Amino acid sequence: MPLYLTVNFYVMKTIIAYKNYFDDFLEELSIQEERKVLTALDLLTKDEPIPTHYVKYIREGIYEFRIFFIYDGNNIVVLFNAFKKKTQRTPEREIKKAIRLKDEYYEAKRNQERHL
């Protein structure tokens, strides 16, 4: 009788903070707020489904999960601007800023790849 082995491989996603936007945001938070954000980010690194009520798709590849992020490939999570949300509604100016930063990130990445 053949022996079957089931192996679960967990792929950790890498979190990249684009420029200093995220670090600047963390500095403005209380210790408790910072812990909540870092705990949320830890969930993003796991190769497990994140409950849909935690992650909100905004538009143009931008997601919100206490912070704005995009997926770059299958395994990379890239962070952009973050802000304290005082209502359920995400301010349009913050969404536009996230889209601008996403475009800036991909342009910088293309330029870097051309120079390699």
Q: What percent of the chain has pLDDT over 90?
A: 13
Give the tens place of pLDDT for each residue, 42-68: 887 876 777 777 788 899 998 888 788
Q: What is the C-alpha to C-alpha distance for residues 51 and 33, in angstroms, rounded to an integer?
A: 20
The chain-wide mean pLDDT, for the chain, equals 80
- Beta-strand runs (E) in the chain: 14-17, 56-59, 62-64, 68-72, 76-79
15 forms bridges with which residues in the sheet? 77
Tokens of 13: 């996603």
pLDDT digits (tens, 9 = 90+) for 87-113: 778 889 889 999 999 999 999 989 988
Say yes or no to pLDDT of 6 above 50: no
Six-digit token string for 23: 């670090």
Q: Which residue's entry shows tokens 């009520």? A: 53
**For 73-86, how does the pLDDT look when each residue is reduced to its tens digit (9 = 90+)?**
766 677 777 777 77
- How many angstroms separate the CA atoms of 27 and 13, rounded? 24
Please give the pLDDT value at position 5: 47
